[in-house]
Amino acid sequence: MTDSIYIPAIAGDGSLYPIEKMQAHLDGQLHLAVSVFVFDGDLLLIQKRASTKYHCAGLWANTCCTHPHWEERIEDCAERRLSEELGFTVPLTRHQTVEYAADVGQGLREHERVTLFSAQVDSRTLEIAPVEGEVEETRWIGPRELMREVRERPQDFTPWFRIYLQRFPGLSFAEAA
């Protein structure tokens, strides 16, 4: 399925401990994560996850998201993942941390404490190079079109992206970034 990667899980007392990523998802254990939103004005760069991903394959999501490796700084994680998935890096602004839980299929659950990051770019000059096995497709989308698509075809979007749009609408577009 995936390589054995250890990520920071959160104990009941708030302390962190390493857990294997797949185990965290099988157990629904609360763990750290990052989500990045890259904008050009009010257009958001979204990605379609590769069809080979171990969960939510082929679904649309925010620009990128992942889990920090054990003892990796959150900021470094967000920058790393932009490069690993989309082949670029840009300066990121750190925002609030949110928490959610969701069934992501195949007996897996996300239960994440997510630090959100954003960036403003010029899409005409940004060179996006989606990495095979990570991202099938990217596109820029405005708020009205995105909300319409999610309303009409929620099954085309990852559970966490739908949760972000529903519970934290200000996080979705540039005015909150």
User: Does the annotation flag 110 for ligand binding?
Assistant: yes
SS (H, E, C) 72-100: CCHHHHHHHHHHHHHCCCCCCEEEEEEEE
CA distance 134 to 74: 20
Amino acid residing at 116: L
Q: How far is CA 77 from the centre of its chain?
A: 11
User: Does the annotation flag 175 for ligand binding?
Assistant: no
**Hey, which residues are catalytic here?**
65, 112
Structure tokens at 48: 């379609």
Q: What is the signed CA dihedral for 169, 61, 63, 21, rounded to 10 degrees? A: 110
CA torsion sign for 20, 24, 29, 33 is positive
User: Does the annotation flag 75 for ligand binding?
Assistant: no
User: Does the annotation flag 84 for ligand binding?
Assistant: no
User: Does the annotation flag 69 for ligand binding?
Assistant: no
User: Does the annotation flag 95 for ligand binding?
Assistant: no
| Residues annotated in a binding site | 25, 31, 67, 85, 110, 112
| Residues annotated in a binding site for Mg(2+) | 85
| Residues annotated in a binding site for Mn(2+) | 25, 31, 67, 110, 112
